[in-house]
Amino acid sequence: MKNFDRTTFGELYAENYDAQHDPGTTNAAVALLWELAAERKTLELAIGTGRVALPLFERGLDIHGIEASEKMLSKLRAKKGGASIPVTTGDMADVRVDNNFGFIYLIFNTLFNLQSQDAQVRCFKNTAGHLIPGGMFLVETFVPDVTQFTRGQNLQTLHVDRQSAMLEATVHDPLRQTIDYQRIRITDKGIQLKPLPMRYAWPAEIDLMARLAGLHLHSRWGSWDRIPFTSESNMHISIYKKDEQ
Ligand SMILES: C[S@@+](CC[C@H](N)C(=O)[O-])C[C@H]1O[C@@H](n2cnc3c(N)ncnc32)[C@H](O)[C@@H]1O
């Protein structure tokens, strides 16, 4: 999708992010991340408005962030405690934080916001460079389901009521592994558009990106509640470990 760079997400979604982007798994995510962090210095890539980082900070975790969007960050800083979390502004694929970490995580499909394989590979390398030996990197993404596309496209109705309809139009490029989403809300006052491009990868490709960066798969689950990952799973939580040296 043209004209959608790393700050566009925030431009479009920061204002209503917390109200409109609740995956319903925040408490379970915070509980597992807290356990895995085990009091080690922690970094969230693409920290956003602090949906997950703030509850971890409130529990006493030494947590830092990377974030591309000043708009998302201003929402984080406006919250109680939000201004106390150190955040480096920049691209998680390249930016250097002046610290090393025992635990790093990248959740809510945000790896796929990096729109090329090259950028995703660089993100793994950059992350590995911030991990201490034996440190862990947790990634949460959906498992792609390309059966939903017919001749590279799909249109589905997400919601209809007396005043409005919400549609989701998608275009799929199987070579670049991209899905361009457009959510279309139609009301009698007009039409609102919510675009989002993603570059997806299956778990095996993500494992390979990790290996290229010197990380190895340590564990994988099919939910934040640690159900086993199977061929039926529609999401995964994967934890990669940096070798002890
Ligand atoms: C779906 S939100 C997730 C925010 C937060 N991690 C959460 O779970 O609520 C995606 C976030 O990624 C940020 N983002 C997108 N591309 C980025 C990049 N290349 N580097 C750093 N942050 C990026 C967006 O600004 C946005 O805050």
Tens of pLDDT, residue by residue, the chain (245 residues): 999 999 999 999 999 999 999 999 999 999 999 999 999 999 999 999 999 999 999 999 999 999 999 999 999 999 999 999 999 999 999 999 999 999 999 999 999 999 999 999 999 999 999 999 999 999 999 999 999 999 999 999 999 999 999 999 999 999 999 999 999 999 999 999 999 999 999 999 999 999 999 999 999 999 999 999 999 999 999 999 998 87
Distance 23 CA to ligand 1 centre (A): 14
Distance 116 CA to ligand 1 centre (A): 16
145 three-class SS: coil
Please work out whether the CB of residue 82 comes within 6 Å of at least one atom of ligand 1.
no
Within a domain: 103: yes
User: Positive or negative CA dihedral for 175, 138, 222, 14?
Assistant: negative
Determine the pLDDT at residue 108.
98
Task: Indicate which CATH number applies to the domain containing 151.
Answer: 2.20.25.570
Say if residue 31 is in the same domain as residue 81: yes
Q: How many domains does the chain have?
A: 2
Say if residue 168 is in the same domain as residue 47: no
Say if residue 191 is in the same domain as residue 204: no
Say if residue 218 is in the same domain as residue 189: no
| Residues in Cβ contact with 18 at an 8 Å cutoff, skipping those fewer than 6 apart | 49, 51, 75
Determine the pLDDT at residue 151.
96
CA angle 94, 97, 100 (to 5 degrees): 115
Within a domain: 120: yes
Alpha-carbon distances, residue 53 vs 26, 48, 60, 143, 211 (angstroms): 10, 9, 11, 24, 27
Distance 197 CA to ligand 1 centre (A): 13
* Protein residue with least CA distance to atom 26, ligand 1: 48
Alpha-carbon distances, residue 107 vs 26, 116, 168 (angstroms): 11, 18, 23
Say if residue 112 is in the same domain as residue 230: yes
pTM of the model: 0.97
Q: Which of 147, 109, 127, 120 is nearest to 209 (CA)?
A: 120
Within a domain: 100: yes
Distance 95 CA to ligand 1 centre (A): 14
* Protein residue with least CA distance to atom 4, ligand 1: 48
Distance 230 CA to ligand 1 centre (A): 27
Closest ligand 1 atom to 109 CA: 1
Say if residue 166 is in the same domain as residue 87: no
Say if residue 68 is in the same domain as residue 156: no
Determine the pLDDT at residue 245.
74
The tokens 């929402």 sit on which residue?
Answer: 75
Q: How many CB atoms lie within 10 A of CB 15?
A: 12
Say if residue 12 is in the same domain as residue 98: yes
Say if residue 33 is in the same domain as residue 91: yes
Within a domain: 1: no
Within a domain: 220: yes
| Cβ atoms 172, 152 nearer than 8 A | yes
Within a domain: 3: no
The tokens 């061929």 sit on which residue?
Answer: 231
The two structure tokens encoding residue 176:
């670049």
Determine the pLDDT at residue 244.
86
Give residue 155's domain range.
146-197
Determine the pLDDT at residue 100.
97
| Cβ atoms 100, 38 nearer than 8 A | no
Determine the pLDDT at residue 74.
98
Within a domain: 184: yes
Say if residue 54 is in the same domain as residue 174: no
Within a domain: 137: yes
Please work out whether the CB of residue 197 comes within 6 Å of at least one atom of ligand 1.
no
Say if residue 111 is in the same domain as residue 177: no
Task: Indicate which CATH number applies to the domain containing 117.
Answer: 3.40.50.150
Say if residue 109 is in the same domain as residue 171: no
* Protein residue with least CA distance to atom 15, ligand 1: 6
- From 197, 214, 230, the end of a domain falls on 197
Q: How many CB atoms lie within 10 A of CB 48?
A: 26
